[in-house]
Amino acid sequence: MHLLEIGARRSVPAAGVYLALTRRCPLSCAHCSTDSSLSSEQHPETPFRKLVESFDPQTRPDLLLMSGGEALLRAGLVADLARIARAVGTRSYVLSGMWFAREGRRLPAAVHAAVREVDHFAASLDEFHEREVSRAEVFRAMHLIREIVPGVSFQITGRNDDDPYLTGLIADVRREFDDQVPILVGTLSAIGRGRNLAGLAPSAPTSGLPVAAVDPCDRVTWPLVTYDGTVYACCNQDLVERRQPEHLILGHAGRQSWPELRELFLEREMFRALRALGPSYVAGRFSERACDKGMCGNCVGLAGDRKAAVRLEAYLRTDSGRLLERTAREVVERQDATAFSIRRSRHGDLVALGSEEGHGTPAHAR
């Protein structure tokens, strides 16, 4: 499974679901967005298993995306979930910090078995990861992993699009893998342990638009199951864990099936409005608490605002409300497979490397 296939489904509500399988991680990266360590809390596997076991051929998500912490510390769980999901037609993805590549080690048997089951493997690499696992070690392991699962990619982050480290790393990846491995590029943010680093962007992305402008939110397109099994409609892990906004809680993976959660996710008016119209529009038009604090700030401000929820629900039942929601959704769904990555970086076209669409990708980062 190529990264573009994931991107092609990114704007489709409930086409994917994120599982944060554990907060634990053997690395100690200074920028860690989840503030993970090897001693972090770890919850039972049961909610994740119950959720994936509830997938059925009619309502199952197209994609199951697993991360952590370090998801491959639960390699057996990764393998089992991927296998169960595949039985009903769901493909799987796992993101790893590559701790197992240190000192040129062979792939641990459990990691090998998990990688063999997934449809896509992504390696995370940046200046802080590289202090824990060297670039050469990560490259060596990725060559081995490509022999097990053809669908691989790098998830690379820099301080900004012009960061010399970032452009150098992109060039090295392209050269080492002959432009056959796609790259998802992002920028570091002051979240998790990254709040202690100087010069990083604030955690809440801002829209740069007036409060009442329609600005669809792609973070409310695929739900997130956090470490304890709580399911959020928003996949911004840092926001939902720190703030736990009640209006974004979808349910619990240990108590509700995927078909139940999916129906709530697709039908609840607040979720529909956030992903089609955006938090700034919803807050500006329906809440008395509206303030121009960007998408995430405006969204958090909606928590507990029952009056805004009632006004929104009434509006979405009107002809004009239905028309606006439908029009906004149609605009989002017309986006191509690179739209999600291009919104986050001017290097967004690199997700197409190694695909038919990637032939002739601009070599600006070579």
Q: How far is CA 98 from CA 62, 106, 122, 250, in A?
A: 26, 12, 9, 31
Cα(83)–Cα(90) distance, rounded to whole angstroms?
9
How much is the average pLDDT of 316-345? 89
Asked if the model's pLDDT at residue 264 lies above 80, the reply is: yes
> Do the domain assignments include residue 225?
no
Is 286 within a domain? yes
Eight-class DSSP state of 293? S
pLDDT value, residue 13: 96
Residue 74 is assigned to a structural domain of this protein: yes
| Whether pLDDT at 76 is above 80 | yes
DSSP β-bridge partners for residue 96:
123
Per the domain annotation, does 244 fall within a domain? Answer: no
With pLDDT > 70 as the criterion, what percentage of the chain qualifies?
92
- DSSP secondary structure letters along 179-244: T-S-EEEEE-BS-GGGGGSTTPBPSS----S-TTS----GGGSS-EE-TTSEEES---HHHHHHH-
Q: For residue range 266-299, what is the model confidence (pLDDT) as tens digits?
A: 999 999 999 999 999 999 899 987 666 688 888 9
In the DSSP assignment, the letter for residue 160 is S
Distance of alpha carbon 273 from alpha carbon 329, whole angstroms: 10
**301 shares its domain with 162:** no
The larger pLDDT score, comparing residue 359 to residue 174, is at: 174
Give the residue-averaged pLDDT of 148-157: 94
- Say yes or no to pLDDT of 69 above 60: yes
Lowest mean pLDDT among 21-35, 163-177, 223-237: 21-35
- Longest Cα–Cα distance in the chain: 63
CATH code, 108: 3.20.20.70
Helix, strand, or coil (residue 65):
strand
Q: What is the pLDDT of residues 175-226, one digit of tens each?
A: 999 999 999 998 887 777 777 776 665 544 444 444 567 889 999 999 999 9
> Higher model confidence: residue 140 or residue 295?
140
Same domain flag for 175 and 264: no
**Position 170 in a domain:** yes
State the residue range of the domain holding 279: 257-333
